[in-house]
Every structure is written in C-alpha cells, then in structure tokens.
Structure 1
Amino acid sequence: MMSTMKWTSLGLLLCLSVTGWSPKAASAFVTKKHATHPQRSTISPTSIRSSGVVHRELFSSSNNNDMNDDEGGSYSSRRQVLRQATAVAGSTLASWWLWGSEPGTAAAAAADTTKKRICVTGCTSGIGLDAATRLAAQGHELLLAGRTTSKAQAAAARILETVPNANIGLAFECNLASLSSIQKFASQIQQLSSSSSSSSQPFAIDVLCLNAGLSRDAAAKDIVRTTDGFELTVGTNHLGHFYLNQLLLPMMNKNTGRIVVTASGVHDPESPGGNQGETATLGDLKGLEQRNFEMVDGGPFSADKAYKDSKLCNVLFTRELQRRLTASGSGITTSCFSPGLILESGFFRNQNPLFVKAFTVGVKVAGVGETSHWGGGALEYVATSPQVANQGGTYFLAPPGSSKYGDAAYGREFKVAQVSKEAQDDSKAKRLWELSETLVAGSSA
C-alpha cells in the first residue's frame, strides 16, 4: 500500500496539473521508472587568519543589472511563470515519488585522514563555502578562489569563525569570466609552490574542485559576454574552468590527485529538471568555432539552454579529461556530480522572483530540495572519500530529498549514476576539448 506521504504527493501532482502542469509533462514523468533531478573587514593574503565579515554572494558576473531582468518577470504573464514553476516543481516531486523514500543499504563512507592541499572555486557561498568549511575542519589546506580577492578573503574569514585553526594557504581573485584573472590566480599558486616546496616535500595540489558557476534568468534575452568575448554562462561555467584546469594540472599530485567538477542533472534532457523548457544539446558544436558564439550548437541565444549546455559541457569535459589522463599514465582521477536542488544557496537570485516563490513553495511541500550543508558534504565526499578513489570519469547523483539522511547518504543514496546519452559521446567530448583549447589559447595569448 502506498504511504500517506506518497498519496499526498500524488494529490499535489494532480493540483499542479490543474494549475498549469501539462498532462503531457505529467505522463512523461509518471512513465519514468527512475527519474533523476539536478539541481547553491578586508584580510590581506599574508595575514589570512584575521577575522572579518563574510558577505554571501554567488560566484557570477559583477554586472548585476545584466543578470536581472525587469522586476515581476520577463515572461508574458504571471500565469505563464506559475505554470513554469509548477511544472519544474511537479517534475521534481514526481521524481521523488518514483524514487521512493526508503534509504539505501550501503554503509556510510569512511573518512580519509590524510591531509591534503585542496583548491576550491566558488568558495564564497553555497555548497562551495560549506564544502570548504568541512574540509578545513578535517585539517586540509585550502586554496580559495573567489570572483574578487576581497570575496575570497571574506570567505576565509567565515571559515575561520567556524574552524579557528583552519589552514588557509591562499585566498585570491579568480574571476572565471576573465582569462587574465584566471592566469593571475594560477600565478599566485605558482609563487606559493616556489616558496613552500622542498626537496623532501615538493608542492602539489591534491584536489582541484571546479565548483563555481552561474545561471542567468531563464527568460533573459540579452547576451552578456565575458571579458574575452565568450557568452557568459558557457564562458564561465565551462571555458573558465577548462582554462584553470590547464594551468593548474602541472601542479597536481600525479599519483593520487583528484579533479572534481560540479555539474547538474539538468545536463540530461530525460531528467525531471532537464526536460523543462529548452533541453541541453551541443549539436555539432558549430558555435564554438568562433569566439563570439551565442550558443554552443550555433543556434540563437537562450539563457535557459545556455546553462543546461554548460552543465553538459562539464560532464563531457570530465570524461575527456579522464581519458587523456589515463592515456598519459597519470594517476589523477576526475569525477563530476550533481549536488541536487539547493534553494538556500542564492543560486536562483538571477531568476524571475515570481517563479522562485512558486517554485520554492512546491519544492518545500514536496520535500525534495537539498540543504547547502548537505551539498557541501557531497562535494567533500567526491573530493576526499576513499570510496571514490580510482573511480575516474564518473558522475555522482542522489535521488531528490536525500539530504534528509544527512551524511549517511554519501556512498549510499549519493553514488555513481549514468550520464545522458549525449554525454556518453566520446567523439563529441574530444571535439569539445579541441575547440575549447583553441578558444582559450587564442584569447589568453
């Protein structure tokens, strides 16, 4: 017999259908056996242990006017916004209902007590800040990358408030929308390497967490570009991290290093979040053949699709990077993961306010959202857990609402999952790498 909660959830699905969730969408979700869901005082670099105030901000473009459309929404009507919100919330709820609410049986992950040097982008808010705080509490050394140095230092101050003895080796600017800023950050780490290396203990980055990201209002029509002329979302979420990885890879621990990429379930057009609105597809990658591209597939600009495409790029990048590392004989492994739907991170601040309110209500009623603390733990797990060692090229995902199990979900509900069909295209992954390499090389020269 179905539980009371499941009957309640089914009733809410029917309500969502009446208020705007189409029967076609409902049918698509209910016929899925196993649906999945995606998804966030100044301190000097030399005296990073000073205290200060942290301002939680999304790692994104500084042009907030460009990142927010007219108040009240850019959609044609309030009803359209509500339909869009209930559709996404409904799909998330359907996913939770089909997954079920019973916990898995795998044991919780054992902690790795080895102290590591870990670089984290997107550390100023959301799961990045929570992950960095968790990692600091475990005694790992942190290299913090923020959109500005002041934001990175403020994040360091916040971490030190919670973990007074945190080992923060660097807190510096790394604006992923600027290749020159990325170069400066890599140079800072190179200087740190030169000053701290010794013959007995050479400098090496043990874990690189490529976590930062941004998402514009899905209804935005204007194209915002990075300082190098790339479309902002793909330029930041994919190309910025691609370039940072290129610069830091020579400094990685060649034997046991890990590279972790924060992706999203929306990379998959068959996932509940991924099949709402325009779906992710990179086509033949024609757009990336020129620097001033609008979309990766060469089509007209869509803010909604650009974000989903960027997450598909993240997954393809992870898989191709692992292929190349393995071919070279390197012991470095790469993984990506979806942290789930985290409303409290501020990640939705650039979305239509009416959409966010309606969506938040639906998610809270369904109980399918995750906490920022849990999402940070998911990042920490993929970055440091012995269970993830030697699982290169993998993608981790949990059923919606898994944060209710706390840290016990890591390695149990939160585990290796299958990526989308397009993300399994190795030839496309290779081509994406080659085009990305050309773009960042031409812009950073």
Structure 2
Amino acid sequence: MVVLTQIIESFRFAWNALRMNILRTVLSLLGVTIGIFAIISVLTIVDSLEKNIRQSLDFLGNDIIYVNKWEFLPDAEGVYKWWEFMRRPNVSYFEYKMLEENLQHSAAISIFADRGGHTLKKGSNSMESVNLTGASYSYKDTKELDIEKGRYFTPTEAAAGRNVAIIGSEIAKTLFPGNPSPIGETMKVKNIKFVVIGVLKFEGESFLGTPSADEVCIIPYGSFRKMYQTGTGSSNELGSNIAVKGFSSDIGLIELENEVVGTMRNLRGLKPKEKDNFALNRPEALGKVLDGLFNVLNMAGWVIGGFSILIGGFGIANIMFVSVKERTSVIGLQKSLGAKNYFILFQFLFESIFLSLIGGGAGLFLVYLITLIPMGSLEVTMSLSNILLGLGVSTAIGTLSGIIPSAQAANLDPVIAIRS
C-alpha cells in the first residue's frame, strides 16, 4: 500500500513538473525520444526485412542439400569462380537414381529442372512468362507443395512421363476464367496438350521476387525431358538439380553431406587429390550470410540511438537536479513529519523513470507511425519484443539518470532543507 502511494505521488509530482515547465521538459526528453526511435525503428525494420527475406527463401526448403554444378555463394576469399563451374558436368538422371538407391541418411531425394519464359494456352486465353518445372515423383517430399484443388501426379504418371500438370493459382485464373475447378481441363505447353490435375494455393508476391507458386507449372520430369535435353550429364545441356532431404536427427546434415560427397566422387571417378566437380548447396549458408548482415544493421541502430539516449539521460538528470533544488524545503518538511529516506529516494526515482518512459513512449509511437506507411511488398510490423525492449531501455535510462539526484534528496538534512 505504501509503495502504491509512493507511485501515485511520484506520478503527481512528475505531472506537475511537466505542467510547470513544459518547454524545458520536452527539450530534455527529446534525446530519449530520438534515441528510442532510432534503436527501435532500426530493429523493427531489420526484423521485418529478415522476416520477409526468409519467407522469400522458403521455396528452398529446410534440411535440404542441393546437388548441381553451380555454387550458391562465393568462396572464403569472396571470389565466385564461374569460369570453373561452367565447365563442370551437369547432374544426370543416372546419378539421381544411384543416389536414391545408395544413400542411407536421406529422408527423400528428387531431381528437377526449370525453364522460364513459357507461354501456356487454352483456347483464346494465354499466359506468358510461366516457369515450367519438370520434377520426379519424390519432388513433393523435398519441396512443400500446397495443392488446394486436385492432386499430385502418381508414381506411374511420373515414371511414364505422362502429359499431366499442376498449375499455380494465377495460371488457373488466366487460362480458365470463371472456372472454379479446372481439374480435368486441357491446356497447351509448346503446343503439347497437358491435362490439369492440380492447382496450387495462392501465395502472392514475395519480397525478393523469388519464384512464386502462383505462376509455375509442374509436370513430370520425363515429360520435361521430351521438350528439353537434360539429365544426361552434359555441361552444355539445360541443367538439372538433385535435392536430398535429410533426417532431423542428423544435426547439421553432416552424415548426409559426407555420404553424398563420397557417392558423387565415386560415380564420377574422381581421384583422392582431385577437387569436386559438383556443388553441394545448403539454404542454411544463405541464412548465415543474412545473419551477419542483420547483426551489423542492428549494431548500427544501437550505436546511433545510443548517443541520443546518452544525451537524453543527461537531460533527465538535469531535470531531476532542478526538481530536487526546487523542492528542497518540501523535502525538509516531509522528513520533519517522519518521512523515511527510502520514501524520498523512491519519490524522485519514480519521477525520473516516469519522465523517461514518456520520452520512450513518444519514440515508440513514432516507430508505430512508420509501420503504417505502405512499403510495397515489404510488410513492416513492430513486434512485442521490440516494444518491451524500448520500454525496458527507457526504464533503465530513467533509473540511471535519477539515482544520483534521488540519493542527494534522500540524504538532505531536514533542518537545513527547511531553512533553504
């Protein structure tokens, strides 16, 4: 009950201080407001960027190792040796089958190839710039496919290379307008008829513009090979990719990666001292690069906002010293009536924290206004953790700024204080 009374009294004193000298208080709190705004705005934007970028990379999957000729990232020295990679052979269908038969630490394995710029037709309706993907039956196990209508192709359809297709929602709307379920309808890809057996759920545009399921057409790998030369292993053909999914128990996919490397080197007849002529790419590698970038941005936000908060802390301390000076006689009167030192200490300390929270709350409000500004495909949201962080930093600054003035007030001699 005593603590509650102290808090209410400190709020009353703080409010009176604000009313008595609004300009002085606002100028003093401006540093905390700008500091909290700088820190939380950077953290909010960086968190939103990270969330949107990682969502854009979800199409790569989790616990996946991609086997192909091209590396995702430069080497340790920052050099991307494309002139070496282009001479490598592409992965072949034979290698895919051998990996499928011999790998012991894989949960699933698939082979697929992509080619963009296709025009799909249905009567007088057509859609351009469609990404055509030829995939083996196990593609559904290495990539999350959210089929809203219809089904995936069967093992028989995949093995025989039947002309069946799973299309994105935008393709379905464009080629079959007014048809709520185009399952069983036919369309043409490179003047070849395909039967629609499935429609993927709408995804929307990604932040990075990465491949969206809305404008993709998936057909069996055998059907794709009838259109394009791929899967033979030649370095001049359209490249295929092998996706190998590991078990969650294989931490870091170390066992699976070693097994894939050993099998591929054996299949390609590489000698012990020869370098790998294939690439093993992990989506986690991109995540580590992003982590480093976001850590730098977060640090920049703390540095920029830290100086403003430091200035704001001195401003609040200045207000508290002035408040102690103005209310010295009141402090002496309170002590003469039996007020304990801790009561005086908490009275001014709560006031300092309250003033700092006002500045921090103003900074958070400015960050909230930023989240209301449309930024295209970038969705900016202020998380609860960042709000609590802003309030926590404000409380810490208020405590540090007010502790010395509060202690000075608590240690005043009541007789001398009343005389002043």
TM-score (norm 1): 0.17
The structure in which a higher percent of residues are strand is 2
TM-score (norm 2): 0.17
Higher relative contact order (CA 8 A, sep 6+): 2
The structure in which a higher percent of residues are helix is 2
Larger Rg: 2
